[in-house]
Amino acid sequence: MTAWRTTRFLVDLTRPRVMGIVNVTPDSFSDGGLHDGTQAAMAHCERLCDEGADLLDIGGESTRPGAAAVSLDQERQRVLPVLRHALRLGVPVSVDTRHTALMREALDAGADIVNDVNALRDDGAEALLARHPAAGICLMHMRGEPGSMQHAPRYADVVAEVFDFLAQRAAALRERGVDAQRIVVDPGFGFGKTDAHNLALHGGIGALAALGFPVLVGWSRKSTLGRITGRPVHARLAASLAAALSAVQRGARVLRVHDVAATVDALKTWQALEAHTALIELPTPYPARNP
């Protein structure tokens, strides 16, 4: 699948795309409190578009382990004004929510995509999206609930279990008549997974893509990268870029990131190098300079 159908746009995925994160929250794990006012979040949307974001993803509830619960009213007040502003910026806009009531209001306001870390398992969510003619859908795998998901998550075979879950969620939507082109899938790094689980799933991105839906990944600043590098959350840019490029090399088509400008540069460079070196035939054996 090389395109993602969304409410207003058909997103061409023949090249990887960058989805910029807009957390309108006081407590997100890496940028909580930075853009939680409506004006600040609107300005952040504009900045990410200037930096080259292909899509925006707006969320009003942190899903980090142990995050405080947010009432529907709070989430709505955080997300909807920013969504309305973002919809004027010329890129597809996604709403990151687990709650059917907010999905409904966001779709009524014109949202292009629903990104649900709960894979549309909330009551009525599947039916709502099935009724909507064209909204894009990101189905993410999460084991458990955000509050407790990192308490010793266990799998017999994490790759098989995550793939089966995503395949089943996509099949349920297809049975309700949702066009396959509207669906992307996401292994959900850090959502009820140890570092070993995340790394196994990363290795399986190519196999996940073989399910037939584009793969979206969210490695940006996550704690596995912190443990690999020994870096705190604000010093994980290099690690996030390496993870993003490795994911693309394995077949991911959408990168959900905080650091849009750096990710866009990294992708452009990687693509130029890959396209160029593919055209060059090095003489073999390559002549030694200092025989």
Q: Which residues bind ligand HH2 (CB under 6 A)?
A: 21, 23, 25, 28-30, 59, 62-64, 96, 115, 117, 138, 140, 186, 188-189, 216, 218, 256
d(CA 213, CA 222): 24
Question: C-beta of 67: minimal distance to ligand HH2 in Å?
Answer: 6
In the complex, the smallest distance separating the C-beta of residue 290 from ligand HH2, rounded to whole angstroms, is 48
Is residue 222 annotated as part of the catalytic site, yes or no?
yes
CB of 209 closer than 8 Å to CB of 251: yes
Alpha helices by DSSP H, listed for the chain, are 38-50, 72-86, 100-109, 125-131, 158-175, 195-203, 205-209, 223-229, 237-249, 260-279
The least distance separating ligand HH2 from the CB of residue 75, rounded to whole angstroms, comes to 12
Residues 6+ apart with CB under 8 A from 286: none
Contact between 93 and 138 (Cβ < 8 Å): no
Cβ distance to ligand HH2 smaller for residue 28 or 263: 28
**Least distance (Å) from ligand HH2 to the CB of residue 30?**
5
Q: Which is nearer to ligand HH2, 40 or 283 (CB)?
A: 40
Q: Residue 242: CB partners within 8 Å, gap ≥ 6? A: none
Determine which one of 5, 182, 222, 253 is catalytic.
222
Selected catalytic residue, list 64, 78, 98, 256: 256
DSSP string, 146-186: TTTTTSS---SSHHHHHHHHHHHHHHHHHHTT--GGGEEEE
Of 145 and 274, CB closest to ligand HH2 = 145
Helix and strand numbers, DSSP H then E, in the chain: 10, 10
Residue whose beta carbon is closest to ligand HH2: 218
Find residue 133's DSSP bridge partners: none
Q: Which is nearer to ligand HH2, 211 or 277 (CB)?
A: 211
Please, which residue, 112 or 186, has the CB nearer to ligand HH2?
186
| Closest CB 219 distance from ligand HH2, rounded Å | 8
Contact 95, 128 (CB under 8 A): no
List active site positions. 222, 256
